[in-house]
Chains A and B, each alone.
Chain A
Amino acid sequence: NAGVTQTPKFRILKIGQSMTLQCTQDMNHNYMYWYRQDPGMGLKLIYYSVGAGITDKGEVPNGYNVSRSTTEDFPLRLELAAPSQTSVYFCASSILAGEINEQFFGPGTRLTVL
């Protein structure tokens, strides 16, 4: 299993540009998440999905959109990039096993908006 994969690893955007961060998992997990991590800060939840076709906002959803057409894929869309969106973005997936809900993280996408 590859686990959770993310592309690209790095990206520089100009203000106002748009892009899609890709996330794929091959563990058949029903839950998927997008987080952003700013320096010295914890992870903040942007959006999450409890299954194909179902998405919901997290703590910091403004400026982002998601879709979940398949169990495997959960892309994150930035429509009008702003400097405040400079961050490291992590995708994660999980499946509830009893009471344990271990989240598996991808390697991250480092995004800079200039």
Chain B
Amino acid sequence: GQQVMQIPQYQHVQEGEDFTTYCNSSTTLSNIQWYKQRPGGHPVFLIQLVKSGEVKKQKRLTFQFGEAKKNSSLHITATQTTDVGTYFCAGFGSGGSNYKLTFGKGTLLTVNP
């Protein structure tokens, strides 16, 4: 079945440093989503990327979808303590199912103030 892998598993940064997490799928994705989960909380939707090569920005967050639609990345510029949490990518398979997500294991980001 479809597998979605994320690296790194953990990342600890000093406040103000940049952070990037990478997501790779074993199969081509129709689109990909990113979620953030604060410690003890529930996942919260950040964004969905649909087009090959798509780049979207949300303030200090930049999301990319690879040309082959098999990989994606999330980059945070100048991290803040409010960025702490686990970031998950989740993909929809290219077989037409636009509602069944396969989640990566996530990257836990901690920020030292």
Contacts and interface: CB of A to CB of B under 8 A. Distances in A.
Nearest to B51: A99
Given A90-B43, A101-B92, A101-B98, A43 B48 contact: no
Contacts of B101: 45, 103
B99 A31 contact: yes
A92 B42 CA distance: 10
Interface residues of B, number: 26
Most buried by A among B42, B44, B90, B100: B42
Contacts of B9: 40
A42 B48 contact: no
Interface residues of A, number: 26
Contacts of B98: 96, 99, 101
Interface stretch (A17-25, A68-76, A78-86, A105-113): A105-113
B99 A96 contact: yes
B31 interface: yes
A112 to B, nearest CB: 16
Contact of A105 (B4, B31, B44, B50): B44
A94 B100 CA distance: 11
Most buried by A among B4, B6, B99, B104: B99
B85 interface: no
A13 interface: no
B50 A99 contact: yes
Interface in A8-35: 31, 35
Given A48-B100, A100-B48, A41 B42 contact: no
Interface of B: 1, 4, 6, 9, 31, 33, 35, 41-45, 48, 50, 88, 90, 92, 98-106
